[in-house]
Chain A
Amino acid sequence: MRMQQWDTEDVETVAGVVRLLRRAAELSWYKADRGGSRSPHQLFAIGVDAAADEAANLLPRRVRLEGPTPVGHNPAQLLASAEQLLRRICTSDPPSPLRALHSRVSELIWEANSGADA
């Protein structure tokens, strides 16, 4: 499947992923900034930022990304929700940027649950 072949539902799903990742990034930065100078949490937050940017760049510019702020205050849970949505559209032969995003989000979940951000 190519990204050009996405239907409205797929596009909405990726837009939902963007919102989840952006909210996760916002919460991660809140924690990193509270950690003061040299906070190791900034590494995780930059990772979530990059994932959110990659997800947003999967969509054409005309797609509106505005929407309700996802509920939740735990970046790991928001990442897990994003991963579930991505899994739904990463079925047979997904485009490589989408596959890369899926694996990046999976790695971030692992980091969130096992590393300094656990």
Chain B
Amino acid sequence: MPTRDRRTVGELLADSDSLARETLLDRSADHSAAMVRTWGQVVDAAARLWAVLPPAAPVRRSEPDLMPRLRQMANGIAASTSAGHWPGPGATDQQLLQIAHNLSRARILVERYGGDVQPTTADVRGDIAAARARIMHTLYVAAHGTALAITEHAKDLQDQLQMDTRRRRPMAQRPSSHEIKAAQALSIRFGVFEQLVGAYVAAHPVTPAVLAEIRPVPQASRLQSVLASWDIQAHRTIVANPDAADLVRVSRIQALIASATAVVSEAAASQGIVDRQVVQRTIPLLDETQVAWSQVARRWAELTSPESRVDPLLVRAASEVRATVVATASNPTGWATPDEIAGRVDLTRAMSALHLNMASSLDVAYLTRDIAATSPTLTAPARQIAMRAQGEAEIAAGQGNTEFEGMTWATERQIAANQLIPLPTPARLGLIKATDHVIASCNRAVAAAAPLEPSESAEIRQPVRAPAIRRSHQVPKMPPQEPAPRGPQR
């Protein structure tokens, strides 16, 4: 008979954190598939515990809740995992499972005994803040460990493929390029997860000195809240069997956010808040991202029919984003001037919210690609899509791919009635290619903007009015026990 678990909530959280650190010690590529399969359970357990903990600060002062965003992202990863080429069904990771178990056990304890805890005193609030910081830190480190394991795995597969190609092994015995791409995509998506949670961890570091310290929590800006809500809603809609019209709206709003990020970045550079040279390098990439999202939106629009409806919650979230971008960065004649924008919002925090969204939009792009690549139910009106399929087939033929030569995509009857027909393969490939372009441009934009990466933590650590955004080539001064900006350290 197993002995009863008598550990306290604090001990369970400390053990979870320690287990997460162990994933870095033992980051074997062999574990990566099991880690990916178990990830959803870890985040689910963390989110459930997060939900039952009392707030560490009064609600009106608190920042937008990150956990629902992380949960949706984990749901998206789980959906891709089961639908994609890698890792598919199989074993789970025992370390991550133990973390999930610890977090679930902590939730049961909080639910059972935490009802009387009122966050009225500084000590109690400090305890709650420490518990929340521990949960986020666990996710941060575990996401990093998983991302590293996947990267190792993808590299191993690539090496194996090269060796097998040299040795002319039968194709069936070589790793498939789909598998390698799926692993690389998941590695990037875990990186995005890590980046999102990293902003929280940097603001609430897990150090003995800080755990009991009450920090002033900056009031959430409207832009921060709206973009966080948008991100959550976009993930929710996309993982719930979306209509093509939903994907058009998602793509259009992501394009708008890319434009707004460029406009606000320019304003921040003109006010001397961020490095002008870095902004000049980043802006063409943001513009490219905007164009790529718009292109994807047009492609998805070809799949809509008059009967298409957009998820009402997505419509509401999109309207909120539009209203906030209008209030932040536009005037009746177009985009607002840098001075106007600086007069309306705290540019540091606006940059922080927009750049964080740019990073998470990478995950949205991957989810969109998954739907384009794997959804068996995609249909489109015959007239438009037959033309598109023919165009794509001709492009393929021009590149030497004669696979589609002589094929037709719709019958005369289907075209006459403009019936909905299953998406022809060349049109699907075109859609995937357009989404790949979004992923590539978004990746480049996020990488170029990394030196600008603003962190609320800087603002919190330096209450004086110092530039909160790191300038290019400046190395942030971090206390020795705090996590490094690009990934956790042991």
Contacts and interface: CB of A to CB of B under 8 A. Distances in A.
A46 B287 CA distance: 18
Interface in B309-332: 309-310, 312, 315, 318-319, 322, 325-326, 330, 332
Contacts of A37: 259, 262, 287-288, 290-291
Nearest to A67: B306
Contacts of A89: none
Nearest to B249: A49
Contacts of B312: 53-54, 57
A49 B287 contact: no
Interface in A32-90: 33, 36-40, 42-43, 45-47, 49-50, 53-54, 56-57, 61, 64-67
Interface string B86-121: 000000000000000000000000000000000000
B259 A53 contact: no
A59 to B, nearest CB: 9
Q: Which 7 A-B pairs have the closest CB atoms?
A: A37-B287, A40-B334, A66-B306, A53-B310, A53-B315, A38-B259, A115-B332
B294 interface: yes
Most B-side CB within 10 Å, residue of A33, A36, A49: A49
Contacts of A92: none
Contacts, number: 75
A33 B290 CA distance: 10
A41 B322 CA distance: 12
Contact of B334 (A61, A67, A114, A116): A116
Interface size class of A (residues with CB under 8 A): 20 to 34
A47 B259 contact: no
Contacts of B256: 42-43, 46
Nearest to A22: B306
Interface of B: 245, 249, 252-253, 255-256, 259, 262-263, 287-288, 290-291, 294, 298, 305-307, 309-310, 312, 315, 318-319, 322, 325-326, 330, 332-335
28 contacts: A33-B294, A37-B259, A37-B262, A37-B288, A38-B262, A39-B259, A40-B335, A42-B255, A42-B259, A43-B322, A43-B325, A43-B330, A45-B252, A46-B256, A49-B249, A49-B252, A50-B322, A53-B310, A54-B315, A57-B309, A57-B310, A57-B315, A61-B309, A64-B306, A66-B305, A66-B307, A115-B333, A116-B332
A43 B306 CA distance: 23
Contacts of B262: 37-38
Nearest to B266: A38
Given A46-B256, A64-B307, 17 more contacts: A33-B294, A33-B298, A37-B288, A37-B291, A38-B262, A42-B252, A42-B294, A45-B252, A46-B253, A46-B318, A53-B315, A57-B310, A61-B307, A66-B306, A66-B307, A116-B332, A116-B333
Nearest to B312: A57
Nearest to A45: B252
Contacts of A54: 312, 315
Given A38-B287, A38-B335, A115-B332, A46 B307 contact: no
Nearest to A104: B319
Contact of A114 (B315, B332, B335): B332
A88 to B, nearest CB: 22
B359 to A, nearest CB: 20
A23 to B, nearest CB: 11
A111 to B, nearest CB: 8
B203 to A, nearest CB: 31
Most B-side CB within 10 Å, residue of A40, A47, A61, A116: A40
A47 B320 CA distance: 10
Contacts of B252: 42, 45-46, 49
B312 to A, nearest CB: 5
Contacts of B288: 37
